[in-house]
Structure 1
Amino acid sequence: MTITNWAGNVTFGTDRLHTPGTLDALREIVAASPRLRPLGTAHSFNRIADTDGDLVSAAGLPTQVHIDSVASEVTVSAGVRYGELASRLHAAGYALHNLASLPHISVAGAVATGTHGSGVFNPSLSSAVTALRLVTADGELLDLRRGDPRFLGAVVNLGALGVVVEVSLRIRPTFDIAQSVYERLPWSRLSTGFREITAAGYSVSLFTDWTGPEINQIWVKRAPLDPALPDRWLGATLATTPLHPVPAMSAVNCTPQGGEPGPWHERLPHFRLDFTPSSGDEIQTEYLVPATNALDALDAVDAIRDRVSPVLQISEIRTIAADDLWLSPSHGRDSVAIHFTWKPDAEAVAPVVAALEERLAPFDARPHWGKVFATDPAAIRARYPRFDDFLALRADLDPTGKFLNPFLTSLFNL
């Protein structure tokens, strides 16, 4: 059996994929295996989950969604996808603070890689975690809750501490969002209006192909009672038909637009749960820079647009509020994420990624842990104040290196 990631750009070095149906069975697999990696929905584009040992998925464990209305949190089995969790929360009158572009990703996988949505006041999805349970290298269970000195290091864990089997998340009352899309925002508006644009809604995304003097689209997700934006806004024009971020692709799999209010989980993601978001023929890269350096970082990318655009499908620009998780890409700083969805040509994309990283290095750009990047591990470690603390935590919980692979060994300089 050949196992690949969702996009097909990574073939795993093993054919041993376990999907145990009980927690006890999972614990036995972990305890017995000399080398093992946890696997979520395989939406990562690099070799973070790769192994020549055992792959273990928590997707086969009994589905659990337990809402504690007193504590305002939900406890969910790790393999549950965000879209499934969101539907159940909404039906019970609750919501998460945010969602990523795709509702198809698993809770544990998204949390472990610091995945995020958008919004100047919205931190990463991982920031909602209040507790987690994981199976450690010896097959034992470890429960960590905020307040434990290890907690802040264990949430965004890169799968290096164990197999997460349960996550508790902070929840809030359910709410509605209305989504509108604007087209053709002049690039010149960013220099004076970047904060106004990105703070114009609960969640805002800017899409560009880096080919012309305009931002292709702005997706603005706002509370229905917020004052309406005009049809002509900062030089951009309100779209009159639904759009897909990637030019020429059908909007049928996108969430409803046109300012029609709807439940948070049907508007905050860009794509609908009941559709495959794309063919998977793509490679993705993303870098998070301090919000204070956003315009300079965008100018740095713009300076090599002639190299970026020929291998690009679309680029997305989003904001993420700071959090306190040790390996979160938005740790300690409000951030702007510059995301690239590339054409599925790894050979052509690689030198462009290297050029981008050279341009963004002065801004201490932190790559998304689940995307393609080539940043020197020493440079990455220097950009995380608590990286050494995480290494100490990893060594304590996994002294034999059971959960390591070449990707992590290089990153951790082991």
Structure 2
Amino acid sequence: MKKRTFLKISSLIVTGSFFTPPFLYRPDREIGSNWAGNYYYKAKELHEPERIDQVQALVEESEKVRVLGSRHSFNSIADSPEDLISLKNLRPEIFIDRETQTVTVTAGVRYGELARHLQKHGFALHNLASLPHISVAGACATATHGSGVRNGNLATAVSGMELVTADGELLSISRERDEEQLSGSVVGLGGVGVVTSLTLNIEPTYEVEQYVYRDLSAKHLETHFDDIMSGAYSVSLFTDFRNNTINQVWMKNRLDDDIEFRAEDTLFDARLTDRHMHPIAEISAENCTRQMGIPGPWHQRLPHFRMDFTPSSGDELQSEFFVPREHAWDAVAELFKLSDRIAPHLLISEIRTIDADNLWMSPCYRQPSVALHFTWKPDWPSVKKVLPLIEERLAPYDVRPHWGKLFTLSPRVLQSRYEKLDDFKKLLAGCDPKGKFRNRFLEEYLYT
């Protein structure tokens, strides 16, 4: 099979012609699209400064400005009606403080670069997302996550940050001095300011081994969901919601962990694979991290995809919804009831767990959560019809969508799900009294 990018399958070409999403608008002065190609940025100007003082000047002079990260959002959250700033040309700096066990990294650095540097010096992060190609600042600003019942999202590692405020001044905040302000600012959705650097907690490096089981009957989740998801340091379930089956169970065992793990031949009625797997079984596992119990350093096992696999544009759309972990089986069962509506438009779905945190605008604020991720075929009209059905079925569990992915939940409902929203808006008003960092997305979902 011809090599494809992340979760991209050749059978797409036989599913019929796809329609262009209504938000796929090409401006006269083309800045380009997001990673998936489903959104074209509408900002009038893209700036790529090389120094912090240039960032400060741009922010001070601009009427409306936002930061463009690694372009892995699927909606307009990173766009601006006026100016966009990309920090990719800032000199990448990574400073490890061994005494405090922290690393300070400039905002344009991606997790793959950071992970290699940390590993070289004997350190690690507590978790990584499925793809290591996303920027550190962008991932933290939207509460992007990895997996694990005891693992918070990537933003929970942040212990300090430096940002350019609306008046062009540099502001430094830390958990030690400004705990409340940091809790509101880390998942800042781009509204607090231009984050120029982040300080993350790190730990000594560790090794991970990865195993994959195939064809687990979904009925086992009803009584054993917690057992399965806590059976290893990081666990992911992949399903296409057909035949009441979990297609694959990926178990990542941390070798220095206190969880007792032994890879048996079976996991209930699922069987241990004897070959490396891609989440979509029909696709080659060439670009996936090594499995079959082969130990490797943390940064080569926690992501699903290898560091040296660089995705270009992917023919896919993505949505993700969070519900409290106590309702995990009920939520999954509701999705299986929608199989005939979901499966025809789906490439694959991933189910993961994330620990609770204290970050105001995180979907996991004060609640251990389960994330229900959908990678869709690039047929927006069909996906747009399915999303309200999913959101309706998950409504009893106070569902929250991922900020950077596709959803149709109303602003009123979304606002009701965040108990710290008023505090967050007060924080934004203090940092940005004239709304310089606000865009259409924030206006609609925070202020409507």
Shorter-chain TM-score: which interval? Answer: over 0.9
1:77-136 residue CA offsets vs partner (Å, 9 max, x unmatched):
011000110110011010000000010000000000000000000011000000000111
- Quote the residue 1:77 is aligned against: 106
Q: Does 1:26 align with 2:26?
A: no
1:255-310 residue CA offsets vs partner (Å, 9 max, x unmatched):
11111000000000000121134751100000110001111111111111110001
Query: Any gaps of 5 or more consecutive residues in structure 2?
Result: 1-29
Of 246-255 and 303-312, more deviation after overlay is shown by 246-255
Q: Does 1:165 align with 2:196?
A: yes
Q: Is the 8 A contact 2:35 2:313 kept in 1?
A: no
Shift of 1:9: 0.3
Shift of 1:229: 1.8
**Structure 1 residues 101 and 40 mapped into 2: Cα distance closer, same or farther (>3 Å)?**
same
1:267-346 matches, cutoff 5 A: 267-277=301-311, 279-346=313-380
Quick one: distance in 1 between partners of 2:438 and 2:365? 23
Q: Does 1:183 align with 2:183?
A: no
Q: Is the 8 A contact 2:327 2:397 kept in 1?
A: yes
Q: TM-score, normalised by structure 1?
A: 0.98
Q: Does 1:16 align with 2:45?
A: yes
- Quote the residue 1:154 is aligned against: 185
- Quote the residue 1:98 is aligned against: 127
- Quote the residue 2:413 is aligned against: 379
Of 316-325 and 30-39, more deviation after overlay is shown by 30-39
- Quote the residue 1:200 is aligned against: 231
- Quote the residue 1:355 is aligned against: 389
Percent sequence identity is 51
Q: Does 1:370 align with 2:399?
A: no
Shift of 1:329: 0.8
2:218 counterpart letter in structure 1: W
Q: How many correspondences in the alignment?
A: 414
Q: Is the 8 A contact 1:179 1:261 kept in 2?
A: yes
1:190 counterpart letter in structure 2: L
Q: Does 1:109 align with 2:138?
A: yes
Shift of 1:232: 1.5
2:262 counterpart letter in structure 1: A
Q: Is the 8 A contact 2:149 2:353 kept in 1?
A: yes
Query: Any gaps of 5 or more consecutive residues in structure 1?
Result: none
Shift of 1:247: 3.5
Quick one: distance in 2 between partners of 1:337 and 1:227? 23
Q: Is the 8 A contact 1:231 1:238 kept in 2?
A: yes
1:387 counterpart letter in structure 2: L
1:9 counterpart letter in structure 2: N
Shift of 1:374: 1.2
Q: Does 1:61 align with 2:90?
A: yes
- Quote the residue 1:238 is aligned against: 272
Q: Is the 8 A contact 1:186 1:235 kept in 2?
A: yes
2:182 counterpart letter in structure 1: F
- Quote the residue 2:66 is aligned against: 37
Q: Does 1:258 align with 2:289?
A: no
Quick one: distance in 1 between partners of 2:395 and 2:285? 35
Q: Is the 8 A contact 2:129 2:146 kept in 1?
A: yes
- Quote the residue 2:168 is aligned against: 139
Which residue of 124, 143, 155 corresponds with 1:126? 155
Quick one: distance in 2 between partners of 1:129 and 1:227? 29
1:209-248 residue CA offsets vs partner (Å, 9 max, x unmatched):
0111210000000023654221112111111111111232
Q: TM-score, normalised by structure 2?
A: 0.91
Quick one: distance in 1 between partners of 2:392 and 2:349? 18
Quick one: distance in 2 between partners of 1:378 and 1:169? 34
**Match of 1:29, SS?**
helix
Shift of 1:33: 0.9
**Match of 1:252, SS?**
coil
